[in-house]
Amino acid sequence: MQISTQHYIYVYIYIHLYPDVTLSLGAKKSYHIAGETTLYRTSDTMATGSSWAWKPIARDALFARAYHSCDVVQGKLLLFGGLKSGEPKEPPLGDMVAFDPTLLTAETVGPNGGDRRSHHDTAVLANRWLCVVGGWDGAHRISAVCCWDTERGQWERWAEGPSNDPPVGLSSHTCTKVSEHELRVVGREGGLRTQRRFASIYTLRVNPATKTYWYKEEESRTASRAGHSAMLLRDTGGYQLVVFGGRDSSDCEVAGRWGKGKIHLESIHAPKMTEQLSHLVGSENGSRQAPKGLRHQSCTVVGPFAVAFGGETLTKGRDTICNDLYVYDTRCSPPSWFRFPCSDRGQKRVGHRTCLWNDKLYLVGGFGPDGKTPCPEICVLEIP
């Protein structure tokens, strides 16, 4: 085995997992283990800004998808559904892929059959069930709920409750977990002949014990949005759900408020990344306006910050896929947005996902600069 004097992470692990594999690192940017997931040298950079970088850690054809979901369940990233290409007639995927961020291994845990979804959203219940809400099944926009039981390794078809009042169909909406039994659903795409002037807000109640769900439409509404982001953020009185993007404006709107005792969620501990984001925004001047005309971007809450990346802009007719990093800082009143551009056009993303786990922010999949070729990489955000 030929290894240069420069040290690489994870090499030790894979030497013991695959003792018969010869690694020849040298000047290569990546290396392949046993015909499976490609690992990267720690010195490689995927997308760079002046003070941040997306660094690839693994590459696998299983990651190559867009408009999918990605959630952390029992220490693994679960990827479900999505699209393999930009061809409008190609059906969505229906497979479930698990990525282990410690071992950097990927495997299919659910076959590509049964429920197919893209443009859906998800929530994790009791660190066991992956609750899939709505989406495009290849023929229709649907509002039904199905769940993947990670302990049994199988799908469960949940039934509608007696008081269910569902939306007509959901796609490019958001579904935010409020508690183990309550989700908040905002927005959706309109029909081909429908210009929606507002976005309905639904409370979706779920009961894993009885395997039932039921929607209730709220009286409040937001402006029409699809492909937007929703951020559950702390405020002085408790929590508020703030939505942005998904329309040709820079407006942020509140889609729900809850007192301190109403939200029953465990905070994700990310002290290192919180400190890094604090240093990052400390060197820039912020703005009160959210990104204008952005949709299908990723957004993840990290402590008092929200980190948004990529997406498609509605403000231009050409070259619409973006690669800017945005940080929303709620420590001040009013909160501020900070934009950090990227000069590498090859790292544009749309329909991708980001996940926070073990003090790291992961970037998964999405279409690249042409808006139709899926990216087969998983990366982590690094802020020096």
DSSP 59-82: E-GGG--BS-EEEEETTEEEEE--
Q: Are residues 182 and 289 in the same domain?
A: yes
Q: Is 166 found in the same domain as 27?
A: no
Candidates 290, 264, 265, 268; CA nearest to 361 is: 268
φ/ψ of residue 171, rounded to 5: -160, 150
d(Cα 250, Cα 231) in Å, to the nearest integer?
A: 15
Are 135 and 9 contained in the same domain? Answer: no
Copy the structure tokens of residue 326: 């945005």
User: Biggest alpha carbon distance in the chain?
Assistant: 66
Which spans in 269-362 are helix H?
A: 271-282
Tell me how crowded residue 320 is: count the other CB atoms within 10 A of its CB.
17
Per-residue pLDDT at 36: 60
Answer for the pair 120, 95: CB distance below 8 angstroms, yes or no.
no
Measured distance CA(352)–CA(301) in Å, rounded: 16
Domain range for 24 is: 1-33
Contacts by residues 267-271 (CB-CB < 8 Å, ≥ 24 positions apart): 268/302, 268/356, 268/357, 269/359, 270/302, 270/303, 270/356, 270/359, 271/359
pTM (two decimals): 0.88
DSSP-derived letter for residue 248 is S
Whether residue 39 lies inside any domain: the answer is no
How many whole angstroms separate alpha carbon 159 and alpha carbon 169? 16
Judgement on whether residues 26 and 64 belong to the same structural domain of the protein: no
Whether 226 and 300 share a structural domain: yes
Total tally of structural domains belonging to the chain = 2
Q: Which of 299, 195, 198, 188 is nearest to 241 (CA)?
A: 299
> Is 259:237 a contact under the CB 8 Å cutoff?
yes
pLDDT at 39: 66
Contact present, 192 and 210 (Cβ < 8 Å):
no
98 part of a folded domain: yes
Q: Which two tokens stand for residue 320?
A: 């619409």
Instruction: Kindly give the parts of the chain with pLDDT less than 70.
Output: 1-37, 39-50, 190-196
Q: Are residues 255 and 311 in the same domain?
A: yes
Which secondary structure element, helix H or strand E, spans residue 314, and what is its range? Answer: none
pLDDT of residue 9: 39
List strands edge to edge, sheet with 212-223: 159-160, 212-223, 198-207, 182-186, 174-179
Token digits of residue 73:
């369940």
Q: Are 161 and 212 in contact (CB under 8 A)?
A: yes
Question: Is 224 in the same domain as 304?
Answer: yes
Q: Are residues 163 and 81 part of one domain?
A: yes
Residues 263 and 283: beta-carbon distance below 8 Å: no
**Residues 12 and 132 grouped into a single domain:** no
Q: What is the pLDDT of residue 33?
A: 44
| 121 shares its domain with 240 | yes
Pair 109, 132 in one domain: yes
Q: Which pLDDT does position 82 carry in this prediction?
A: 98
Whether 13 and 109 map to the same domain: the answer is no
pLDDT of residue 249: 87
Residue 344 sits in a domain of what CATH number? Answer: 2.120.10.80
Residue 38 lies in a domain: no
